[in-house]
Amino acid sequence: MVMTCFPRDPGTSYFIIVIENIIAIDGTVTGKETVLWEANSDAVVYEVWRAINLVSSGEKPVRIGFLSATSFDDATASSGATYYYWVKARDSWGASKYSVPDTGYRN
């Protein structure tokens, strides 16, 4: 797992780790797309974000999950459509930056 640290507040030494490697299990379970990631010891909860295109193409990701687990089942994805998924770690100070995205689709 590759992780990057970012300072939480200017002038402090506190960091929250950004999760860079997430895995979207491509169409292996009918009716949902499962997104997995490794636990972040600094995180209280995780945010799961989804978009049809990358942010660099003008797409705005939508938060589809807010949970303490390290996996999320996206049952709202359209069957056959490919999505980009991101995860943010969140603690009491706020959220990390977006993870590196992974693509996935639902059967």
Give the global pTM: 0.82
Q: In sequence order, what are the residues at sequence separation of 6 or more whose Cβ sits closer than 8 angstroms to the Cβ of residue 94?
A: 8, 16
14 versus 93: the higher-pLDDT residue is 93
Mean of the per-residue pLDDT values of the chain? 84
For 95, counting Cβ atoms within 10 Å of its Cβ (0-12 exposed, 13-18 middle, 19+ buried), the class is middle
18-28 confidence digits (pLDDT tens): 776 788 988 88
pLDDT tens sequence across 92-106: 888 888 899 999 998
Query: pLDDT per residue over 50-65, tens digit each?
Result: 999 998 899 999 999 9
